[in-house]
Amino acid sequence: MKADKIRELDGTELGRQLTDMGEQMFRLKFQMKMGQMEGLKKYRGLKKDRARMLLILRERELDPAKAQAAEAAAAAAKAKKPSRRKKKEE
């Protein structure tokens, strides 16, 4: 995931994604210990994405103005998304 996309997410979403990544990394690490090496490339990518997310959370912690800007960007992005609901035909 690119850093720009991560910066658009709010703190709760980042926390949820970090938790999910931790679980995925655990599963991949377990598979690699069992001798299945298919997950090595994915594991490395997850580690890098997790590090990016932690870096952005730390940036927000050190500079509250960035956190407010990120929340505003996330709200604007949610407002721009078109609704995926289909209109009922009468």
CATH number at residue 13: 1.10.287
The verdict on residue 86 lying in a domain is no
**Global pTM value:** 0.67
Question: 14 Cβ partners below 8 Å, 6+ apart?
Answer: 6, 53, 56, 57
Number of domains in the chain: 1
Longest dimension (CA), the chain: 58
Q: How far is CA 49 from the centre of its chain?
A: 8
CA distance to 35, 47, 52, 53, 69, per residue, from 17 (Å): 27, 13, 12, 9, 20
Q: Which domain holds residue 42?
A: 3-78
Confidence of residue 90 (pLDDT cuts 50, 70, 90): very low
| Per-residue pLDDT tens digits for 3-42 | 888 888 888 888 899 999 999 999 988 888 888 777 788 8
Please check whether residue 37 lies inside any domain of the structure: yes
